[in-house]
Amino acid sequence: MTTTPDQRRLRLLSANIQAGSSTRRYSDYVTRSWSHALPTGNKRGSLDVIAQLAGEHDIVGLQEADPGSLRSGFTNQTHYLAERAGFDYWSHQPNRSVGRVASSANGLLSKLEPVEVADHSLPGRISGRGVLLARFGSGREGLTVAVAHLSLGATSRRAQLAFIAELLSDHPHAVLMGDFNCVPETPEMEVLYKRTRLQPPKICIPTFPSWRPQRAIDHILVSADLGIDGTRALPAANSDHLALALSIDVPAAALR
């Protein structure tokens, strides 16, 4: 795909980083469960590997980034990755906390300065899910990037996707990335395709589990008039999800 002079190519990455924990087989969810509550298991080393990957991109959406609880050694992992990977702009949205033992957040890393960042709580049977929304460029034609981590249950996902569709319905240049916990053709996803300009992915790549990918549940959805190139899955250190990357061509006017 060739980028024209009136377009700008942006490299995007979406990664569920599992708070820097390591999961290499299903049994690890039991035998290594302690690593989800304690600051052990070389999480800092995993973050450094993720930072190297993130630094090759312009905008990165993170899921399950610890905002600073016991298991991360009280490190805000989004901030840590921004500094290690050379991002000037970062934001995070803490969503779920188990005391001060384990917390989880959506995160955004960007080499472009957003004009606005907002976070919204998502509906669901169990609270603790959210969507982080960033706008680049001025006016309605600007680029909007949303980062979300959806629920496991279809009923909650349906309500969450309807909420996100309402947020993005008036944005012609939009990107929604994250861990959807469902494949793109599930019935609840239809609300996005009908009420926004987001399109189903042209290439569906399995991302979970990372050691033997079988399910395509991590997605970067892009508006119809934004060009897409180079979709691929990449290891996010030892997370149980592969990261998903692609490039988009955005009208240069949308970023002014």
pLDDT digits (tens, 9 = 90+) for 190-238: 999 999 999 999 889 999 999 999 999 999 999 999 999 999 999 999 9
Predicted model pTM: 0.92
Q: Is the dihedral of CA 161, 159, 94, 50 positive or negative?
A: negative
What are the structural domains, with CATH classification, of the chain? 9-250 (3.60.10.10)
CA–CA distance from 250 to each of 10, 111, 171, 227 (Å)? 7, 15, 13, 7
Q: Which secondary-structure segment (H or E) carries 163? A: helix 154-168
pLDDT digits (tens, 9 = 90+) for 78-122: 999 999 999 999 999 988 655 555 678 999 999 999 999 999 999
Q: Which two tokens stand for residue 236?
A: 């996010």
Q: Which secondary-structure segment (H or E) carries 78? A: helix 77-85
pLDDT digits (tens, 9 = 90+) for 229-246: 999 999 999 999 999 999
At residue 132, the pLDDT reads: 98
At residue 2, the pLDDT reads: 66
Distance CA 5, CA 252 (A): 8
